[in-house]
Chain A
Amino acid sequence: MALRKPPLRAIHAERGAKFTEFGGWDMPVEFDSIRTEHAAVREAAGLFDVSHMGEIEVSGPDAADLMQRLTTNDVTDLAPGEAQYSMITDEDGVVLDDTVVYCLPGDGADYLFVPNAGHDEAMHRRWTRHRDEWSMDATVANVTADYAMIALQGPRAADLLAAETEAPVADLSFFEATYATVAGADALVSRTGYTGEDGFELVVPSADAEPVWRAFDCQPCGLGARDTLRIEMGYLLSGEDFDPETDPRTPYEAGVGFTVALDTEFVGRAALEQVASAGPDERLVGFRLLERGVPRHGYDITSTDGMVVGAVTSGTMSPTLDEPIGLGYVPTEYSDPGTAIRVVVRGQQKDARVQTTPFIDRP
């Protein structure tokens, strides 16, 4: 099956990007170097094509109910123009995907949620199946192919964006969204991101992607830097830090219990109530390697006695800290910050220490 291509693919190729497959999409992984791109985001601004992310629109009289019952967080907390991070769980409370849910600006009857790359069709099916099962009056539309998503991230993002729009986007709070004309295109602008820096994510029609992309004169960044930036923050990556098929996890194991509103009705609620009261047996922790090496997905985590107790889910050499860092699951008794563990790198046990995330200082 052919890879899905973002609307901006030709522009990335022209710029000399290297490409990789991700979630069934042909995406730029690196434009110049991961270090250069990463540093640009931490120090100035970087531009990411994140069009591989899905967009599902949910509208109609029962839209809020449908969103409420299929996501863990409390959708009724959202006023129009507000968004929230949430989990999509199955009946056992296992995370199928993590997502940002938007109550779209306007009369508050319409929602948008953003599933991860390659999950849009499955989520669309899930939503429509339940809509029909519950006889709800709601329209669910997979509009992923119609839109491009561009993320502008970094301390200079607000200034760069303000220069391209009349809308007072600098006034948006974190996780707030508005419609605006950006570089001449109709955009949904939200103060969200996956880097830990100030920044914005713009959803624009595919046909307008090019002028919007070209409007921002800053470092283009690929998936390589996107990964190093999010690992420094301890943010989850669907498919790496949890996967319903190969590594099923509840939100409590994955460290995102804050997204679970047990006082709302949603698929998986009963199972999660049990996990919440008993506490999960394993937890995702951050760790830092104390010896030379790079922790990578799948590497064993052992106790200091060399007994395998868990596994790395994400890891990298942190460009900001110049130290190897990672995320992985360990039994709860190993999850306190400061706990000594080891990571097996190509047959060798390397000393490491559990620590809280984010790994970098945030103001």
Chain B
Amino acid sequence: MSFDIPDDRRYLESHEWARLEDGTVRIGISDFAQDELGDVVFVEYPEVGDHLDREEVFGVVESIKAVSDLYMPVAGTVEATNDALLDAPELVNEDPYGEGWMLEVAPDDADDLADLLSAEEYREQVL
């Protein structure tokens, strides 16, 4: 089974990804994670304006089979949440790197992304 692990972003060992776009960090879960979870039914995320630290639990992703905590890849303040997931949680399964994104945060320090796993390092972990 091969998983999509794009090079244009960085990863946590707990399978979240983070991508810097115009000073904002967009966050979601990897293709490997959505496959492990199976059919996602709910995503819980924080409020816009909440500040969270790196590796703090920012929410929960729930599938038919399981419930999983979601961890912040970087410390920052929540600027946006993907409300499309309220009605269409399956976007997380169908397009985990695109339409299935979960949070946008203003990072405390954009350089923190360098502490995360590269696509290559994450690939080694899951394959």
Contacts and interface: CB of A to CB of B under 8 A. Distances in A.
Contacts of A346: 60, 67
B79 interface: no
Interface stretch (B12-20, B34-42, B46-54, B102-110): B34-42
A69 B60 CA distance: 50
Nearest to B40: A317
Given A30-B65, A34-B39, A346-B67, 18 more contacts: A29-B65, A30-B38, A33-B38, A33-B39, A33-B93, A34-B38, A35-B39, A35-B64, A224-B38, A228-B64, A292-B42, A294-B42, A294-B64, A316-B64, A317-B39, A317-B64, A319-B39, A346-B60
A16 B2 CA distance: 11
A293 interface: yes
B42 A34 contact: no
Interface residues of B, number: 11
B64 A293 contact: no
Nearest to B1: A16
A16 B64 CA distance: 19
Interface string A249-293: 000000000000000000000000000000000000000000011
A224 B38 CA distance: 10
A317 B38 contact: no
Interface residues of A, number: 16
The 3 closest A-B pairs by CB, nearest first: A317-B41, A35-B39, A34-B64
B99 interface: no
The B interface is mostly helix, strand or loop, or mixed, namely mixed
A296 B67 CA distance: 10
A317 B67 CA distance: 12
B38 to A, nearest CB: 6
Contacts of A294: 41-42, 62, 64, 67
A227 B64 CA distance: 10
Interface of A: 16, 29-30, 33-35, 224, 228, 292-294, 296, 316-317, 319, 346
Contacts of B39: 33-35, 317, 319
Contacts of A296: 67
Contacts of B1: 16
Given A16-B1, A34-B65, A293 B60 contact: no
B91 to A, nearest CB: 14
Contacts of A316: 64
A224 B62 CA distance: 15
Interface string B1-40: 1000000000000000000000000000000000000110
A224 B42 contact: no
9 contacts: A34-B64, A224-B38, A224-B64, A292-B42, A293-B42, A294-B41, A294-B42, A294-B64, A346-B67
A319 B1 CA distance: 25
Nearest to B35: A18
Contacts of B67: 294, 296, 346
Interface in B74-127: 93
A319 B42 CA distance: 13
A30 B66 CA distance: 13
Most-contacted residue by chain B among A228, A293, A294, A346 (CB, 10 A): A294
A29 B65 CA distance: 10
Nearest to A324: B41
